[in-house]
A and B are shown apart, each in its own frame.
Chain A
């Protein structure tokens, strides 16, 4: 039982940290934030690897195969597309700075 109590404590504290951190993200970044958070729940793949250790029935093989495909697609795709998006966010300021430096 104490294990579960610790786990629930972790869950609640992590929720609070999440609310605190997310609240500070500006609206400009809400789409990448959502897709970034989306990739984080791809952590489920760790769970898939862990349960694979115990698996030895055909039913379990099917579960693990499907979960591995779905989970990996989630995590890999999520991070790649978030990076692609964030790469596009550019400031006008550095370019102005470059221009100034160029003028000098």
Chain B
């Protein structure tokens, strides 16, 4: 391959784009600079795409139809992308990220497929391996993310999907996918057959991989699938020998892997066990051991009195807050209390919500300054000084049973809510958490329960706080 000047220019522009992606991610290390970081990254992307088009027109192309098809596709994609990004509710972010994963993985698989199938010459072994990997990983991500998005959105059909004998199906489709991939490398003359089979089997594996995994484990799954998309893009980059794809794909892969490991640590479960699925849910294996006593119910008015005369209040939001869309109410209550001179903080557990950092985004949307959002390690020493902790829709991450061995949540780092002077829990019903066990916190002497929809109960509390203050 001889490099023409335009190839060299292109190389450097792609390198510049890669540098800008790294800078963009680097600026994400503080909320102050994060927005600038994202803009730098987007600018790099614009450079790379413009360069690709310049390259296309300078070096020439075989068919005008292809270019028209390309441009029309890009326009449709851009409109769809902007529309979904502008419309989405912040509570639905996990689904959207998952959808973008789906389309990214799909695109990577298509680029790789195209590279193998539409060349007249026999592809080299290198191309076969890298493109094959791109097809495999991209296809798994495509169906896997689609199922994940469906589960997060609560689509009934997807939620009700059950898979018996999941280990069998998982192993079967892994073996079939790998076999088809190996055949593709061995028998490139039959590349149409083998690449299509690789694609189909990998698509099936994506389905059986994600279907058995429960909703609350989705943060880890999304993160893993994100890593997969990144890797698929990098593999497609290796196949078509493009530096921008390789570097960008590797960056995303690294981000996904790092976040997945962090998430798994926050749940104290090995990453592989999370991905094996089948945790929690309906198989509530008799977790009543050691839980005695009764829950004390309270009223919104009573909670309001306690809050107004408190010195320090810690809010503990969980997925229930997102479900009830009650983030604004919680923030309003926080503002009211602050205006009374009450010290307010928000305790954020790393796996609260449906994706890493989900609570932070929701509360940021409700204008809570990020300094008030305190993570696990920093907030735990503060609980003993809190007059009252208000738990809104969080369950397993507050269960003191995690400190003892022998329960499904054992060893999981929890928020030490039970150590605060008083605890109020707003909860929809008496049901158990994702781990399928009772929360011992609810039976403590200093805990009061407020049963109801988080949004309505918070509104009621706000109303009576206002009365008290007035």
Contacts and interface: CB of A to CB of B under 8 A. Distances in A.
A83 B81 CA distance: 13
Interface in A1-34: 1, 3-4, 7-8, 10-12, 14-19, 21-34
Contact of A11 (B26, B100, B250): B250
B73 A72 contact: yes
A28 B73 contact: no
Nearest to A42: B104
B257 interface: yes
B118 A57 contact: yes
Given A52-B56, A53-B56, A74 B41 contact: no
A39 B100 contact: yes
A43 B245 contact: yes
Interface band, chain A: 35 or more
A7 B127 CA distance: 12
A31 B361 contact: yes
Contacts of A63: 110-111, 113-114, 117-118
A27 to B, nearest CB: 5
Given A15-B253, A71-B77, A83 B35 contact: yes
Contacts of A97: none
Contacts of A91: 31-32, 369-371
B55 interface: yes
A28 B357 contact: yes
Contacts of A89: 31, 34-35, 360, 364, 370
A52 B107 CA distance: 13
Contact of A34 (B119, B226, B350): B226
B272 interface: no
Contacts of B365: 88
Interface SS of chain B: helix
Contacts of A83: 35, 38-39, 42
Nearest to A72: B77
Nearest to B266: A27
Contact of A25 (B28, B75, B96, B248): B28
B252 A40 contact: yes
Given A41-B248, A47-B111, A52-B61, A30 B259 contact: yes
B85 A41 contact: no
Contacts of A86: 31, 34-35, 38
B281 to A, nearest CB: 24
Interface stretch (B46-54, B157-165, B297-305, B424-432): B46-54
B118 A59 contact: yes
Interface stretch (B231-239, B309-317, B406-414, B454-462): B231-239
Contacts of A42: 45, 100, 104
Contacts of A8: 238
Contacts of B243: 7, 10
A60 B30 CA distance: 43
B356 A72 contact: no
Given A53-B56, A55-B66, A78-B81, A85 B259 contact: no
Contact of A38 (B35, B97, B246): B97
Contacts of A76: 77-78, 81-82, 85
Contacts of A70: 77, 103-104, 106-107, 110
B357 A23 contact: no
Given A43-B244, A77-B82, A28 B60 contact: no
A45 B236 contact: no
Interface string A66-83: 111111111111111111
Given A34-B259, A43-B249, A48-B111, A79 B45 contact: yes
23 contacts: A28-B370, A30-B356, A31-B355, A34-B256, A36-B28, A37-B251, A38-B229, A64-B73, A65-B69, A67-B111, A68-B70, A69-B103, A70-B106, A71-B77, A72-B75, A74-B107, A77-B81, A77-B82, A83-B38, A85-B361, A90-B364, A90-B367, A95-B369
Interface of B: 1, 14, 17-18, 21-22, 24-26, 28-32, 34-35, 37-39, 41-42, 45, 48-49, 51-53, 55-56, 59-63, 65-67, 69-78, 80-82, 84-86, 88, 90, 93, 96-97, 100-101, 103-104, 106-108, 110-111, 113-115, 117-119, 126, 222-223, 226, 229-230, 233-234, 236-238, 240-259, 262, 348, 350, 355-358, 360-361, 364-365, 367, 369-373, 375
